[in-house]
Amino acid sequence: MFYARKSGTANAPGVQYTQEYTPFFLNGCTTRRGGQSIMAKKRRPEKPGKPYPSYPLFPHNRGYWAKKVDGKLRYFGRWDLEEGPHASEALAAYQKFESERQPEQRAMPGISVPEPVAGPKVKSDKYGRITLADGLNVYLDRCRSRVETGLMAPSSRREYKSTARFLVRHFGRNVFIDSLGPDDFESFRRFRAQTRDVTSMGNEIQRVRTMLNWIADQYNLAQINYGPDFKKPGKKAVKKATRAARERAGINKPILDRDDLRMILDQCGVQLRAAALLGINCGYYPSDIASLTDRHFAEMKGRAFLTMPRVKTEEERLNVLWPETVTAIDDWRASFEASKLTGPLIFQRIGGKSWRDQNVMMSKRFAASMRNAAVQTGSFRWLRNTFETIAGDSRDQVAVNLAMGHVDNSMAAVYRHDVDPQRIIDITDHVRSWLFD
């Protein structure tokens, strides 16, 4: 509203000039001359912060707790009321919205949505925070589902379970995940480094980050702050530590000597001898051997070939079998133990159990044969190292990479669509000549 001057005499000698104003309203607004408001402006409460770092909502300028869902901004309760921000009521409204929204949005037209499988129950406080034990239990339950569907190896789940136990042992069951910080993870790293070398400690750190990041994504927690030091060591640190460990153990190169390998093969049983020959013949790991079936065999150029992809990476590979390897596999199949086994897998444990569930046991059996042969250093993995080293002397690295199942990211691999099987025969027979001739 404006104030109009009512009366007065300007510049009259000896008379003090006074102004009186009469208010009137313009467009429903109360204003002074010059457009300034004379009404007391209502002051909005100061915008609050999040109650805790992982709180999923944020205070919007309009006075609501808000979150962007599927690209659309949605509001859940007000924070600008006089009685308080009402963060817990807004969180309850958001959780109710999520529980009602997800089944409908995941359903596809004409497709029935199966009932969810009951998993571990997760208890959270009124702010939605998750305890360490509850979150890890849910993750391990998902790992079990992946193992059942073939998406994860059983050995990987065992490693995650072991790491989860050490996490709970160090931090406690009821600690909130979003309360962990850089100092906590540094203390865990020092705790585990007492019994781990650089390589295994790096794998442990990676498993911790994988599990906790999955839990944070699953329950809309804030990004976890691990700090700058809680990460896998670089390649330089790993090489330095590996070299130092080999010097302490008196190991020059992690490959087996020809005479030692022959003595080890003589100490192996029927099944283990066939598995060890596959290791030096094809560069197979125990996990590869445990997955071998009849459908992986093929015949080309009058020789027996294996076409099984590498289990670890699913990279294509092609291997030719030596006559000694074929004979060893036939001897195992004709043995009394194998006659009682059923199923498609060629190599099985006594009782019909798969080596894929306990592939470390095959390495332990090989280590026992090494001790019986008086060979002090080595492991089943060294068979693969030996094959790569000796086959590399054939000067056909492309064929060696295909036999080993290496990932080739070069531009040549983009244009190369086939390798002559004769090249695989040449490099494999070169290793055979080194071992038996």
DSSP string covering 365-392: HHHHHHHHTT--S--THHHHHHHHHHHH
Instruction: Count Cα neighbours of 137 within 13 Å in the Cβ-side half-sphere.
Output: 13
Residue where the block lists tokens 């002090």: 376
Neighbours of 399 (CB within 10 A): 22
| Residue-by-residue DSSP string for 259-318 | HHHHHHHHHS-HHHHHHHHHHHHH---HHHHHT-BGGGEEEETTEEEE-PPPTTT-----
Helix 154-171 crosses helix 182-193 at what angle (to 10 degrees)? 110
Q: Which two structure tokens, joined as six digits, stand for 244?
A: 């130092």
> CA neighbours within 13 Å on the CB side: how many for 267?
17
pLDDT at position 66 is 87
- What is the predicted pLDDT for the residue at 58? 87
Quickly count: other Cβ atoms within 10 Å of residue 321's Cβ.
Answer: 20
User: Tokens 């099984």 — which residue?
Assistant: 308
> Among 251, 333, 346, 331, which residue's Cα sits nearest to residue 297?
346
Predicted pLDDT of residue 7: 44
Q: Hey, is 11 helix, strand or coil? A: coil
Q: Amino acid identity of 143?
A: C
Residue 62 contacts residue 40 (beta carbons within 8 Å): no
What does the alpha-carbon distance between residue 390 and residue 375 come to, in Å, rounded to a whole number?
Answer: 20
Q: Which fold has domain 258-436?
A: hpI Integrase; Chain A (1.10.443)
Q: So where are the chain's domains?
A: 1-8+17-42, 132-249, 258-436
Closest CA to 368 of 249, 276, 242: 276
What gap in Å lies between CA 362 and CA 110, rounded to an integer? 48
Paired residues of 31 in beta bridges: 37
- Residue 191 to residues 158, 165, 194, 205, Cα–Cα distance (Å): 20, 13, 6, 12
Each residue's pLDDT tens digit, 282-309: 999 998 999 999 999 998 888 999 999 9
pLDDT on residue 128? 66
Query: What is residue 368's predicted lDDT score, i.e. its pLDDT?
Result: 94
Of 2.30.30, 3.30.2420, 3.10.450, 1.10.150, the CATH number of 132-249 is 1.10.150
Residue 96's φ and ψ, nearest 5 degrees, are -65, -40
Structure confidence at residue 114 (pLDDT)? 45
Nearest Cα neighbor of 149 from 138, 158, 160, 157 is 157
pLDDT at site 54:
77
pLDDT profile of the chain (437 residues), mean per 10: 44 46 46 48 71 84 83 81 70 81 46 48 64 93 90 88 95 91 94 91 95 92 91 91 85 90 95 96 94 92 93 92 95 84 84 74 92 92 96 94 92 92 96 94
User: Model pTM greater than 0.85?
Assistant: no
Give Cα separations from 285 to 246, 268, 352, 429 (angstroms).
22, 16, 20, 20
pLDDT tens for 338-388 read 778 788 889 988 777 778 776 678 899 999 999 999 998 899 999 999 999
Same fold, 132-249 and 258-436: no
